[in-house]
Amino acid sequence: MKNLNQVGLWLALVFAVSGLTGCGDTTKPKDAKQTSGGSHDHDHDHDHGDEHDDHAHAMGPKGGHVIKFDDNKGWAAWDHKDNEDKVIVYLLSDDHKELKGRKVTKAYFVATSGDQRKEFALTATDADAEGVASTFECVDKALLAATQIGTELIVETAEGQLHVKIEAHHH
């Protein structure tokens, strides 16, 4: 019961903060610090101790935590830049070693608590003329907080929706 109360308090905080903030300007220059390969050199400070022991910790080609969409519909990686209040999603190739663009109509995170639901829209940062993109981001302190209690990532394409649950991630 105590954990349920803590989750409720976190979500209340997320929804309260999200009322004050929104996804900000995502047209800022890209960070010079980007990773390659499987190294773990992304821009945030946290210990990869016990909270990560229950899942594989594969890293994407630009860093970030590799995740598989439900129904084996593809791969993505997500990362956070705590100092910028930014969450980034990269769509990946099947071997998750390269970025793989898709024509996406909408990409967003969802945080829920009981019957309350909050969406955090992601903005494509590398879309071409046809709308194919592989990198999406949102600058929102409330989304950053929501990733600490668990969220769902949804990517809408012409072929349908891609879903994946993001387990609680402590920064």
pLDDT digits (tens, 9 = 90+) for 113-144: 888 899 999 999 999 999 899 999 999 999 99
Enumerate the domain spans of the chain.
2-22+59-166
d(CA 113, CA 30): 33
Kindly report, residue by residue over 31-48, the tens digit of the pLDDT. Answer: 433 333 333 444 444 444
Question: Is-contact 100 91, C-beta < 8 A?
Answer: yes
On whether the pTM is more than 0.85, the answer is no
Residues 6+ apart with CB under 8 A from 22: 140
Given the candidates 2.60.40, 1.20.1250, 1.20.58, 2.60.120, the CATH classification of the domain at 2-22+59-166 is 2.60.40
Q: Helix, strand or coil for residue 82?
A: helix
